[in-house]
Amino acid sequence: MHNIKWIRENPKAFDEAMVRRGLAPVSDEILKHDAQRRDLQTKLQDVQQESNRLAKEIGALMGQGKKEEAQPLMERSSEVKAQLSQLKSQQENADEGTANSLLGGLLGSLPNIMDSDVPNGEDESENIELRNWSTPPEFGFKVKDHVDIGEALGLLDFESSATMSGARFSVLKGDLARLERALGNFMLDVHTNKFGYEEVSPPLLVRPGAMYGTSQLPKFAEDSFETSDGRYLIPTSEVPLLNMVSEAIVEEELLPIRLTARTPCFRSEAGSAGRDTRGLIRQHQFYKVELISIVAPDQGEEELERMTACAEHILQRLDLPYRVMFLCSGDTGFAARRTYDIEVWMPGQLHYREISSCSLVGDFQARRLNARCRPKGERETQFVHTLNGSGLAIGRCLVAILENYQNEDGTVRIPDALQPYMDGKTVITPC
């Protein structure tokens, strides 16, 4: 959510920020609704004062036994109370913090303001490579993609999943299912033991307000699965993790708060028709280890670098080649101020593919969640800043291992870091 006071004071800068997002200038419409809201607020205060005054006068007269003199004031009080009720209803419908109001709905539909140094660009082709790690492996045989490898091993079954669930689902069996579990456990152990994240096991179903608080609604409603009772399956554990500080005031000395969770994630992939229909890259259900940071306003940029380094460390431990990309304006997500994508090398596709996206959000989500911090020794509070990142997407990590560690005979080597999680096993063989 945007700071309406800042927009009021900087309408031109706000419009320029929205234009960078490919949107038309919108400050005039926002300020029109804001003026109406403020005018309504003034009327409400005036009527409330009159209501209070009448209540005191009526009370005084009734205490003196002057019921007849109080009668016209009581009639006026009834009129004022009706007016007050109507104004309160109008105020709720006009408030910027109400998602279904004209002002709140408009503000809620607009993306975050990007940092000034985010490169301009239309799409991912204009992202900037910041660094890379290791070199793609060379093979002395014809490389297969993960689908052919997994099916030949007898451990990846798309036919059964399609029969029971439809497209974009999969069944993993045997050592492949175990490798998926090993990856999640390995990532959680590293992030908790080495980097100090607190592990959380959160709900997988949340209410609409929780989705709105993390900017999933209304923007990504079509990409979400809604249940018959109005709840939503989480598209990422970012949603429940950040909602742990909803409506909270945290003492600043307790920041940063760093949380991690391994959960299944559910996405309808409504906007990806025809993309990545083969294999495990883009599924309706997938596992991901999420990283969340809740920080003081001056800690965000440093924390983004730290979070990205934590995700990179996982790939380094797995010895998987990758590169880090600074996303351009046309590829930066709705809620992000700036984003670094980590892309892992996929030999079966001869291409780098996103495996982690680490974003600095600033106070954009905190305003929706009303999540605040209080500096030590001060009474005033301020909104916290939030960050989120994948640490990593487990399914895509599994793909990268199958393709980078494949052998000519169809077997797959297990990365050294994962062998303790596989009872010392070093190679996956056909079942």
**Residue among 195, 315, 313, 206 at smallest CA distance from 259:** 195
**C-alpha 274: how far from chain center:** 24
**Phi, psi of 308, deg, nearest 5:** -60, -40
Asked if 120 and 329 count as a contact pair (C-beta separation under 8 A), the reply is yes
- Cβ within 8 Å of residue 168, ≥6 positions away: 269, 277, 282, 283, 284
Active-site choice (357, 359, 390, 403): 357
Report which residue type is found at 308: T
**Residue among 231, 361, 352 at smallest CA distance from 291:** 361
Half-sphere exposure in the Cβ direction for 361 (13 Å, CA): 31
Asked if 34 and 3 count as a contact pair (C-beta separation under 8 A), the reply is no
- Cβ within 8 Å of residue 253, ≥6 positions away: 376
- The question of whether 354 is a catalytic residue gets the answer yes
Active-site choice (262, 367, 368, 396): 396
- The question of whether 134 is a catalytic residue gets the answer no
Tokens of 153: 């091993």
For tokens 């205060």, the residue is 45
- Cβ within 8 Å of residue 428, ≥6 positions away: 153, 155, 175, 176, 179, 411, 412, 413, 414
Strands 171-172 and 198-199: unpaired
- Cβ within 8 Å of residue 5, ≥6 positions away: none
Q: Is the torsion defined by CA of 34, 35, 41, 47 positive or negative?
A: negative
Active-site choice (181, 354, 374, 413): 354
Active-site choice (178, 267, 367, 368): 267
- The question of whether 258 is a catalytic residue gets the answer no
Instruction: Compute the distance between CA of residue 99 and CA of residue 105 in angstroms, rounded to an integer.
Output: 5
Tokens of 43: 């009327």
Asked if 340 and 358 count as a contact pair (C-beta separation under 8 A), the reply is yes
Q: Which residues pair with 125 in a beta bridge?
A: none
Instruction: Compute the distance between CA of residue 70 and CA of residue 62 in angstroms, rounded to an integer.
Output: 7
Half-sphere exposure in the Cβ direction for 10 (13 Å, CA): 11
- The question of whether 267 is a catalytic residue gets the answer yes
Half-sphere exposure in the Cβ direction for 329 (13 Å, CA): 18
Active-site choice (76, 231, 282, 306): 282
Which amino acids are annotated catalytic?
267, 282, 354, 357, 396
